[in-house]
Chain A
């Protein structure tokens, strides 16, 4: 089933072919089945060590990877920023040397600097999974969003997905684009021009992507919406006049959601600011797939861990 899988790391999905994405999604379906069993545990990673290196605060992604690794019987160890040598000023290089000496098979890294997982991957024998780096990429989120959308909509060919909000600072938006477009979806970005990369608004959009500043127009007839978290500091740094205005102009309300196709789903990578970028009624309403996203996240991460551990490029197998 994973015959085509030859990757050594999962750093970004921007150069993935459609069949690689589908390999992961198919594998995810198999993993989701394991999670429905009475005993949610399978043995493929027994004897392997997964190191979760979270240099930036995160609860849901870290826990999701931890549950995924444990469900596959891996030994899991955590290195987090707070209370560790990272907080005491240790360089990323020295942390990597330590990780290398500890001898993990797979390193899952979350880091505030775009590109940090490449730095780690170049200097370690372990397989590296990017669990979110700066504004750059969050591959497992893009894959779980694709999995969740496919479960709701079927084939994504020709489907139009609206991504609303702070695209500029969003690794989720980038990874969603890199995953959904190869699967045939079209993506419409909407949000304040100050929160969209200027090059994208000025004619250099990635293939399959358009920009529509008017969120109502963007949502008209859409097949799904992904709402991004709005950081309050965007107002403080002059990118927005006020959080209130953002909420009025781009916030996702029930009235706005009704512009989409009947029952078109709404997703959010979390954590949400209810009443800012999304109304509580939408977040907890019948269109919301937000809880499914969390559940599917574990299965997607199991699939990635499994594929990396069994890849012909896995450490010790090359």
Chain B
């Protein structure tokens, strides 16, 4: 396979990042997160509202926009909560939040458990055709789980999060979106069953979109047991790491190889619309604990593009043009935000990609304030050579 030395792309847009400000500035800030984004090739990132306080009022949205304007990194667009305080009890003021600048709505990390309330959220949001983004996971089925439930969790003696916890929620959410005719974006899907549910819903004409993360495309639950091999590696050819490494703890959890392959098929056949990082920074001492006590999350902004090149493009799973769709054109279309195009009126955001650039991941040199990546020290082929982003 021969790729050009340099590929010019529209600036990348991450529709799912955690910037931790306000409330958890020891892990990340708008300034450090947005600089990490630029370094990773993203010119626009959408910030999830699970901060302290939760972004659930127009004043907080405005404050976030003001802080973002004062930072010198990527453009930051706020996502607001669906329910007040992300408590899943009462709807936030969705229309006013949108007027203040919220680009979408999500209780990410705390999926709306009450099906009736989630139905109303979708229904109410449809008044302005607003976008609801759901972290689809049945709370009762995932409670206490720390990794994918399967043969590996059985061997390691760790409590599992079954694929069914996600699939039951995806099925519910699709049914509700179809009931009320609303738009719904399902984020960080991780299982074969979820992809199949979305595939069928799309075929039936439902207004469903979805994304997957680079880490769910690149790793399996074997990584929790110490494997560092990818699907195509000869077993035993890659040195093992210590098991129970908390840098492999993420929610949704790293799934089985069959699930990973199903995500690849979803990328190839168009079922999956976008790749999102779910950049989830955590301060080093939060992660430096027993596996079951560690918080979920992997940083992603500075490794996503190189992982996608190395693991997807160079393996022939995704052509470069499709990668640009997944990381720029489609996120802009789903979020209805500027970008993904250089048409008149669009920002002149460009990512200059070098498919053969040799990249060595160095957690210590990351712009992100947190270093929780399982890829520290990895050599990856392909990355971002330069960026051109004009601030609005």
Contact = CB atoms under 8 A, between A and B. Distances in A.
Interface of A: 14, 91-93, 111, 113-116, 118-119, 122, 133-137, 171, 174, 197-200, 204, 206
Contacts of A115: 156, 158, 243-244, 290-292
A174 B150 CA distance: 15
A199 B291 contact: no
Contact of A114 (B150, B242, B244): B244
B157 A114 contact: yes
Given A115-B243, A134-B157, A134-B292, 7 more contacts: A14-B155, A115-B156, A115-B158, A134-B158, A197-B154, A198-B160, A199-B151
A238 to B, nearest CB: 10
Given A174-B157, A199-B151, A113 B292 contact: yes
B54 to A, nearest CB: 27
Interface centre among B151, B155, B158, B293 (most CB of A within 10 A): B155
B291 A114 contact: yes
Contacts of B289: 91-93
B162 interface: yes
A113 B150 contact: no
Interface string B273-288: 0000000000001001
A119 B157 contact: no
B156 A200 contact: no
B157 A171 contact: yes
A191 to B, nearest CB: 14
A258 B243 CA distance: 42
Nearest to A134: B157
Contacts, number: 66
A309 B150 CA distance: 37
Q: Give 5 nearest A-B pairs by CB, closest first.
A: A115-B244, A136-B157, A135-B157, A197-B154, A113-B290
B156 A204 contact: no
B149 interface: yes
A4 B292 CA distance: 34
A135 B291 CA distance: 13
A297 B290 CA distance: 28
Given A93-B285, A198-B162, A113 B291 contact: yes
A114 B156 contact: yes
A111 B157 contact: no
Nearest to B244: A115
B254 to A, nearest CB: 15
Interface string B93-130: 00000000000000000000000000000000000000
B149 A199 contact: yes
B158 A204 contact: no
B292 A114 contact: yes
Interface residues of B, number: 21
A199 B293 CA distance: 24
Contacts of B160: 198
A136 B293 contact: no
A113 B290 CA distance: 6
A134 B291 CA distance: 11
Contacts of A92: 289-290
B156 to A, nearest CB: 6
Contacts of B290: 92, 111, 113, 115-116, 119
Nearest to A205: B151
Contacts of A14: 155
B274 to A, nearest CB: 31
Nearest to B149: A198
A119 B244 contact: yes
Interface string B131-156: 00000000000000000011101111
Nearest to A137: B157
Nearest to B164: A198
A174 B151 CA distance: 12
Interface in B290-331: 290-293
20 contacts: A14-B155, A91-B285, A92-B290, A114-B157, A114-B158, A114-B244, A114-B291, A115-B290, A115-B292, A118-B242, A119-B291, A135-B158, A136-B156, A171-B157, A197-B151, A197-B153, A197-B154, A198-B149, A198-B154, A198-B160
A113 B155 contact: no
A200 B152 CA distance: 10
A3 B11 CA distance: 61
A264 to B, nearest CB: 27
B155 A174 contact: yes
Contact of B243 (A111, A118, A174): A118
Contacts of A174: 155, 157
A308 to B, nearest CB: 19
A93 B288 CA distance: 7
A136 B152 CA distance: 11
B288 A113 contact: no
Contacts of A133: 157
A236 to B, nearest CB: 14
A122 B146 CA distance: 21
A204 B150 contact: yes
B244 to A, nearest CB: 3
A205 B267 CA distance: 32
Nearest to B292: A113
Contacts of A204: 150-151, 154
Contacts of A197: 151, 153-154
B154 A199 contact: yes
Contacts of B291: 113-115, 119
Contacts of B150: 199, 204
A152 to B, nearest CB: 28
Interface centre among A113, A135, A136 (most CB of B within 10 A): A113
A249 B260 CA distance: 40
A38 to B, nearest CB: 42
Contacts of B151: 197, 199-200, 204
A199 B275 CA distance: 30
A258 B153 CA distance: 35
Nearest to B226: A118
Interface centre among B151, B154, B242, B288 (most CB of A within 10 A): B154
Nearest to A133: B157
